[in-house]
Structure 1
C-alpha cells in the first residue's frame, strides 16, 4: 500500500521520455509528404452522407444494391437526416464486372441543402429503420438496450458512450430465401452496453422494406446477459458459413498508454504517466479519473482509452445491478457492488449463431484475443481470421483455428493459436513516405487455447466490484470517508497497478517464460495472459504494436490464394509516424489503404500501399478529390472495394464524408509452386482482370536461383491466337512471352485471365522467387494496362531418403514448409516415422534441417521423430 499524502506527485521521467501524455491525438505538423495522395488504380465517388455523419456498415446484396448506416448525423440536418438510420442506395446496382462504368461519379455536395442529406449517384437513399423506432410490438426501441426489467438504458444519468442508438455501424444480411431478397438485417450500435439489432427486411417491386414489428434487440435476450452482454459493437464480418460476427471495440482495454510497456512501468518503479484506462475500470465513476489524477500529480496524463470508460456503469445496470449511484440529476461516486461487469468479458469477436431462429445465440470467441477490435476478416478456409484494432499504438492480429470453426459441435470448443504481427523490413523504419514503403510482416505466436479455457480464466474475475477498488487499494474505510478512500485508491493504482486483475508481475513473468520456453512452455496459470491482456503481452514479446487506427479489413468472399486482403489505416500518424519502433514513416493524416496477397495457406506477409490519402496541409482541390480516413471497407465479388470515410477535420470545400468505389489495377501474378528434386511442376501466369480487354503484350518470367529450380518449358492458353514461341534462356532462368488477342477472345471485364503456363524442374532443396516482368501490356483501345506484378515462390523439397522411400522425394502434405510425407507416397503414415528414424543421421536428412525440424529447435534430433509421430 502506497501512503496517501494529499499532495501532488511528480510523474516519472520515463513517462516523459516515452511521450504518452497525449495518446490518441493526431498532433504535430503534417508537412508535404511525397505520394500523398496516391491511388494505384482508380476510384469514383458513389455517395456522400449527411453533414456530421460517417459512412459505416456497407453491405452489398446479391442483386448488386448497396446499404449503409447514417451514423451520428448532425442534429441540425433537416429531417429525416438528423437521426441515425440505415438505408439503401435505391436506383444504383453493381453489375460485378470489375468496372466503375455502371454509374457517373457523384459531384461533391455544394449547397447547404445537398450537404444536409445523403446523396447517391443516380439514385436516392431510402431509409429502412432509424434510431429509437418502436420495434417488437412496442416492447423495445431500435438501437436501445434495456435493463432486465425493461427500463431503457438511456433513462439513467451519468456518463454515456454517445447518444443511445445514435451510432449504427455494421450491417450484414442473412437471407432466408433462395433469391436473397428476404431475411434478417443485423446492425451493430456503438454504445455501452452494446447493441445488436435484428430487423426483418425484404425486397418487393418497389424496393426494400423493413418490418419493425418483427425486429428485436438481441442484447436484451437473456442469452446475451449471461455472457455479460456486449460493449461498443463496431464493424464486423459475415462468416463463410453465414453468421454475423460483431466486433467489440473496447477502447478502454489498454493497461499501458501509447508506446509504453509493462516493463517500462516496472523499471520506473511507478505507473504514473504510463498506465492506461484499464487500471481504473472498477473505480467508482471511472470517467472522472483524469481530473482525479490531475489533482494527485503535478504532471498528470491522460490514460489511453479513458474516455471509453463512459457507459461502464450503465453496463452494470443493464446486467441488473442496483443503480446506487443515481441521485436523479448527476452521477455520484457511491460504489456499485454486486453485478458490476467483469472487464475481461469485453473486447472480443461475437458470433451470432442460429441467426434466423427465434432465439439467436451469442458466442464470444475468446481465443481470438481481446482488443479494441474494429472488425475481423474471416477467410474461406474457415480457420484463419485477421483482426484489426482501432486507436493508437495497437496490434494487428491473426487467429488460426485447429479445425474449421463450423466443424466444432460446440463453439466453446473452438481452439487455435493467436498471433500478432511484427514488421521486419528496415525500410519501414526510415521515415520514408508511406506510398513508397511495403510493410513486411512475420507472425509471432502468443499462445494456443480454446474458447472454453479462456472463459474459465475470465470467470475468475466475475465478482470484482467498485467496492473492491476501494477495499483493495485504500487504507481508509470508504463507508466512513469515501472521498479520502477514493483518492488513496487512485494514487495506489496509478503507481502500483490494479491488484484486482492480472498484475504487472504476472505479465512480465509470462514474457520471461515465453522468451525462455516459447508460447507453449509457460506455467499453466500464466497461459491466460496473452488472451486477457493481449496488447500488453504482444508488446512484451516485441510485436509491432504501433498500428494507428487499423480499421477496415476484408477480402472477396470466395478468396483463393493469389487474391487480396485489404486493410484500411484511417490515419497514419502516432505510432506509425514517430521516431521509435519498427514502423517510422512520414505521417499522412489522410490514412492509407494497404493490400496483401493471400498465400497458399491464407497467410499474408506483405502489406503494399494502394490508396494513400492527402496531407492535412494540401490545398482544397486536392483534398476534395481524394479519399480521406478510410474506415470500413468492403470487397465486392468482382474485386472492387468500397471505401467508407470518417474524415475528421480536413479542409475540404464540403463537410461530408463519402463512399468511394476503388477499382484496383490489374495484377499479373505467377503461381507459387512446390516441386521435388528431379521432379517437375507448373506455375500459371494470370491477369486478375482486364476491364478494357487485352490486345496483347510482352512478359518475361524469371527465377532468382537456378541452383534450386530451372524453367524447362512453357506454353500459352487457348485464348491467345497470335504468339511467338516462348523463349527460354540457356540457363533456364527466364522465359519470354509475346502474344496478341486478335479475335477479342478475352472480353472486356474478364477476370482471372490465364495467359500461359511455365514448366519447372526441381534441382536442389531450397526456395527461389519467381517473378513476372511486364515489358508491354495493352488494352483493346491501345492504352497501356495499369498493372502490378506479384512474385511467387518455388520451393524445391529434399531428395529421396534411403530405400524406404522407393526413390520418391518427400512432400509437404499440409503446406507448412515441413515435409511430413517422408516416404513420398503423398500422405502422412506410420512408415514416414520409421523412415525418418532409420535415416536420421543421413546427409539427406541432416543437410535439410528446415524440412524435418518438426520440433522447431533449429536442428535434427530424435524429438523430431516424436513430433512427427504425434501428427499421425
Structure 2
C-alpha cells in the first residue's frame, strides 16, 4: 500500500485569477454593520399582520380555499416549543375568512407576540391554527408515516445514518388543494417535504360543520410509488404552483446544482486553468460522503473554500438508498452503533441531472397519480414556478446566491399535449439592461428593466434522453475516473487524489467544462438554434452555467416567491419576492449593483401582451438590520413565498430567521397594493379606428368622482377622436377633446353609488383613437382629482398604454419604412418595408417578435392564423419564400 500524506497543494487558483473568494457576502446576520439605506423600509400600499408562526418556524406553503380560509405549513419549528407546536405540521387559520373585496377589513391586525407562551405557538388574528396533519403521523393504513420516504422494501429513510438534508418530515412547504366536488369542500391536499429524498404527501381533507379535517388513514406518500422511483424520485421539494388546468406543480430546490461559485463562469475557470476556490457543489455529486467535501478540500489546498451548495449534498446517499442502492457504507462500529463509512455506493446511485426540475402531478385525484418532470423548464434551485393563464408561459425563481430568473414558453398550451413528454418550448434567462440598476442606488428608487435571453428549444422527451446518458454513474466512478490509486487497495489515498483532480479540472463523469465553453462559443457565433446537436443539451442540463456564459443576470439573490392571480390578464401584475437583497445584487460588479437591503424586496411586473414582462418595480422594501426595533417589528422581513388573492391582495410569508425584532417569530402579512389607473394598449390601422378603456383596478372604499386627463404623446401617430363614460357615471362633463386630438379630459361623479365598494377593474371611460400616421406612441393618464365614498383622496398609480399604428416599422425596418402587404391578403409579409418578400423579412420578424410593434399587431403577422405571434409564424413566412 502506498502511504499518502495529506499536504497543501499549491494549485493555480481560479479564485485568485478571477479575483473572488469564498461565496456569500457577509450580512447583518453575521454581525457586520448594515448602513441605513434610503427607502428601506418602504411599502407602496398598505400591509397588515394576519398571523405569526411558532418560534423557529417559517411561514411556508400558503393556500386559500374558495371559502376564503387560509392554510399554511408550520415548517421546522423549535423543538423547545410546547406541543403540538414543536412538530412540523400543516394547519388552517380557523376563524378567519377572506371576503375578496380588495380591502383588508376582514380582520384587525394581529399584535406582535410578546410573551413566551405566545411566541411558542401559532397566533391568528381572530382565530386559531387548526392542525390537520403532522410530521410522522401514521398514514395509509399504518404502512407509511406522513412526510417520510421509504426504500423499495419499506424501510423508513429515518432509520439510516449519514448526512441529511434536515430531519425527515420536518420541512413541509407547498400546499395545494385539488377539489373532488363542485363546492370545493372535499378533495386532496398536496404537500411538499423539503428533504432528500424529497416527499410529496397526498392527504384527503374535507370541510364539515366543525371545520376542515384530514383523513390520515387514506393519505399517502407519493414518492414511495414505483412511478416516482422510475424518475429517480424527487429531491428537496420546496414550494410550487397549482396549474391553470388543476394539477399540482412541485419545485425541486436543488441547491447543489452550481458548477462554479458566485458570479464566476465556467470560461473563467477554463482560462485560469483551475477551479480551485470557485468549483461548485455539482462537481462533487458522486463523491463518497459528498457532504464532507469542504473539509477534505481544506486539507488539500491553501485556498480553502466551501463549494457553493455543498451543504445541500447532505441526504444524497439517502436518495441512493431510497432508489434501492445497497447501503454498503452502513457499518456497525466498535460501540455497536451504526456508522457511515467512505465505502463507495455502486449500482443505484442517483443521476444528478434528474433533480432540480418542476414535477407535475398529473391525474392528481386518481388512485395512482402520475409524476411528470418538466425538463424543458431547465434545472435550478427552483423555489416555485408560476404558470400563466395562457397555459404556455411559465416564470421560475431559483433560491440562493447568484441564481438567476427564468422563463419558459411552450409552443402550444401544455395541457394540449396528449403526452406531457412531448411538451416542447423555449427556455429563457433574464438580463437586467438599465444602467441605473448598476449605479449603487437604493432599491426603492429604481426599477429593474429586463430582457429575456433565449437559451434553447427542446422537448421533455429529448431532454430525458440526454439525461439518461448519465444514468449508471456511481461513487465508484468518481474514484476510478479521477484517481490513479486503486481505491480498493487504498480508499483514503484514492479519494484525496480524486478530490484534487476534480477541484482543479472538473468532474469528467458529467458534462465537462470544455463542452459548456464550446456551447457558448457556438451560441455567440450561430445563435441558440445553430449549436451542434450534441451541445443542445447544455442549457437544459446546466442551466445556470449556460445562462452565465451568455451574459444573463444571475445576480438575483434568493428569488423565492413568484405569483399572479389565477385569471390574470395583460395589465395585471406578477409578484416576485427577493428574500435578501445583498450578496451579488449589492456588490460592485455585474448588471445589478443596488444598495443592500437585508430585509429583501418584493417586486411586481405588469403583464404585457403575450404574458411577457419587462420591468420589475419595487413595491415592498424590507428594513435594514440596523433599523430601530419598532421599525423591524412593523415591517415585512425576508419575504419568501408570495400568493396573489383573486382580489389583487398578496400574502407575504416570512423566512427571516434572527433579525433584531422584539419577537423572534416569522409573520404572515396581507399586502394591499395601491389602486392603479391605466389605459389599454392597442394596435390600429393607418386611417382606421380602435377603442381603448380607462380602467381603475380597484375601489375598496367606493368611488365618489374625479377629474382625469388622458393624453397621446404623438398626435401625428394616433389622435383621440371620440370618448364616452361608463353608464354608471350619471353626472359628467364633456368629455373635452383637444382640437389636435392629443388629449381628452373627463370629469364625473357617481351620484347613486352604482360603483360599489370593493369593485374590481372598474371601466371609467372608453376612448376612440384614429391612426393618423405610422409608428408607436405612448398614451398616458394624469389624475387631477379622484375621491372615494368617504371623501378621502384616491391616489392611484398611473400606468400608460401604447398605441401602434400602420403597422409601424419593426426594428427600424428598411430605412425606417413600415411593413407592407404585397399580395393584399391582410398579412404584412414585407416585414422590413422594402417592398418585397425576402429572407431579411424572416430574420427581422425573428429578431423582433417580442417588440410592441409586433405583439400589439398580431393580425398583421399571424401567418399561421392561431391568434398569436409565435415561431411557427416565422416558419410559415419562410415557407412563403
Q: Does 1:564 align with 2:568?
A: no
Q: Decide whether aligned partners of structure 1 residues 331 and 857 sit closer, same or farther in structure 2, where only a CA change above 3 A counts.
A: same
Q: Does 1:485 align with 2:494?
A: yes
Shift of 1:14: 4.6
Shift of 1:87: 0.3
Q: Does 1:21 align with 2:22?
A: yes
Aligned to 2:409: 400
Shift of 1:144: 0.1
Q: Decide whether aligned partners of structure 1 residues 25 and 453 sit closer, same or farther in structure 2, where only a CA change above 3 A counts.
A: farther
- What RMSD, in angstroms, separates the aligned Cα atoms of the two structures? 2.3
Q: Does 1:216 align with 2:220?
A: yes
CA deviation profile, 1:537-589 (whole Å, cap 9, x unmatched): 00000000010000011111011111111111100001111101111101100
Distance 1:33 1:687 in 2: 33
Aligned to 1:171: 175
Q: Normalised by the size of structure 1, how large is the TM-score?
A: 0.93
Shift of 1:211: 0.4
Q: Does 1:587 align with 2:596?
A: yes
Q: Does 1:422 align with 2:457?
A: no
State whether residues 819 and 832 of structure 2, in contact with CA within 8 Å, keep that contact through their aligned partners in structure 1. no
Q: Does 1:501 align with 2:495?
A: no
Shift of 1:600: 1.8
Shift of 1:368: 0.5
SS at match of 1:223: helix
> For structure 1, which runs of at least 5 residues remain unmatched after alignment?
801-808, 810-817
State whether residues 842 and 877 of structure 2, in contact with CA within 8 Å, keep that contact through their aligned partners in structure 1. no
Shift of 1:736: 2.0
The equivalences for 1:832-851 within 5 A come to 836=830, 842-843=834-835
Shift of 1:743: 2.0
State whether residues 372 and 420 of structure 2, in contact with CA within 8 Å, keep that contact through their aligned partners in structure 1. yes
State whether residues 506 and 512 of structure 2, in contact with CA within 8 Å, keep that contact through their aligned partners in structure 1. yes
Shift of 1:730: 3.2
Shift of 1:766: 2.2
Distance 2:58 2:821 in 1: 53
SS at match of 2:437: helix
Distance 1:407 1:483 in 2: 54
Q: Decide whether aligned partners of structure 1 residues 855 and 434 sit closer, same or farther in structure 2, where only a CA change above 3 A counts.
A: closer
Aligned to 2:7: 7
CA deviation profile, 1:305-362 (whole Å, cap 9, x unmatched): 0000001100000000000011143321111000000000000000000100000010
Q: Does 1:598 align with 2:599?
A: no
State whether residues 56 and 657 of structure 2, in contact with CA within 8 Å, keep that contact through their aligned partners in structure 1. no
Aligned to 1:806: none
Q: Decide whether aligned partners of structure 1 residues 316 and 231 sit closer, same or farther in structure 2, where only a CA change above 3 A counts.
A: same
SS at match of 2:499: helix
Aligned to 1:187: 191
Aligned to 1:524: 533
Shift of 1:504: 0.6
CA deviation profile, 1:173-227 (whole Å, cap 9, x unmatched): 0000000000000000000000000000000001110000000000000000000
Aligned to 2:782: 773
337, 340, 343: which one aligns with 1:334? 343
SS at match of 2:240: strand
Distance 1:766 1:851 in 2: 21
> For structure 2, which runs of at least 5 residues remain unmatched after alignment?
333-337, 811-817, 850-871
Aligned to 1:119: 123
Aligned to 2:769: 760
Q: Does 1:694 align with 2:708?
A: no
SS at match of 1:745: coil
730, 738, 745: which one aligns with 1:729? 738
Q: Does 1:856 align with 2:863?
A: no
Aligned to 2:387: 378
The equivalences for 1:738-817 within 5 A come to 738-798=747-807
SS at match of 1:327: strand
Distance 1:178 1:313 in 2: 44
State whether residues 336 and 465 of structure 1, in contact with CA within 8 Å, keep that contact through their aligned partners in structure 2. yes
Distance 1:348 1:529 in 2: 15
Shift of 1:123: 0.5
State whether residues 164 and 318 of structure 2, in contact with CA within 8 Å, keep that contact through their aligned partners in structure 1. yes
Which stretch has the larger CA shift, 246-255 or 326-335?
326-335
Distance 2:457 2:525 in 1: 17
Distance 1:582 1:318 in 2: 42
The equivalences for 1:460-471 within 5 A come to 460-471=469-480
Aligned to 1:303: 307
Distance 2:39 2:761 in 1: 29
State whether residues 852 and 864 of structure 1, in contact with CA within 8 Å, keep that contact through their aligned partners in structure 2. no
Shift of 1:30: 1.9
Shift of 1:739: 1.9
The equivalences for 1:83-232 within 5 A come to 83-232=87-236
Shift of 1:264: 0.8
Distance 1:757 1:850 in 2: 36
Q: Normalised by the size of structure 2, how large is the TM-score?
A: 0.92
Q: Does 1:349 align with 2:363?
A: no
State whether residues 9 and 301 of structure 2, in contact with CA within 8 Å, keep that contact through their aligned partners in structure 1. yes
SS at match of 2:121: coil
SS at match of 1:149: coil
SS at match of 2:288: coil
Which stretch has the larger CA shift, 564-573 or 329-338?
329-338
SS at match of 2:331: coil
State whether residues 12 and 273 of structure 1, in contact with CA within 8 Å, keep that contact through their aligned partners in structure 2. no
Aligned to 1:391: 400
CA deviation profile, 1:280-327 (whole Å, cap 9, x unmatched): 000000011101110111121111000000011000000000000111
CA deviation profile, 1:348-380 (whole Å, cap 9, x unmatched): 000000100000010000001000000000100
SS at match of 1:712: strand
Q: Decide whether aligned partners of structure 1 residues 704 and 169 sit closer, same or farther in structure 2, where only a CA change above 3 A counts.
A: same
CA deviation profile, 1:447-467 (whole Å, cap 9, x unmatched): 000000000000000011001
Distance 1:820 1:522 in 2: 33
State whether residues 51 and 656 of structure 1, in contact with CA within 8 Å, keep that contact through their aligned partners in structure 2. yes
Aligned to 1:63: 67
Shift of 1:854: 3.1
Q: Does 1:360 align with 2:364?
A: no
Aligned to 1:803: none
Shift of 1:707: 3.3
State whether residues 444 and 621 of structure 2, in contact with CA within 8 Å, keep that contact through their aligned partners in structure 1. yes
State whether residues 87 and 126 of structure 1, in contact with CA within 8 Å, keep that contact through their aligned partners in structure 2. yes
Aligned to 2:454: 445
Aligned to 1:805: none
State whether residues 235 and 355 of structure 2, in contact with CA within 8 Å, keep that contact through their aligned partners in structure 1. yes
Q: Decide whether aligned partners of structure 1 residues 867 and 857 sit closer, same or farther in structure 2, where only a CA change above 3 A counts.
A: farther
CA deviation profile, 1:53-78 (whole Å, cap 9, x unmatched): 00000000001111000000000000
Shift of 1:757: 1.3
Distance 1:482 1:447 in 2: 41
Shift of 1:822: 6.8
303, 320, 323: which one aligns with 1:319? 323
Distance 2:317 2:144 in 1: 21
569, 576, 584: which one aligns with 2:585? 576
State whether residues 551 and 632 of structure 1, in contact with CA within 8 Å, keep that contact through their aligned partners in structure 2. yes
Which stretch has the larger CA shift, 699-708 or 518-527?
699-708
Aligned to 1:812: none
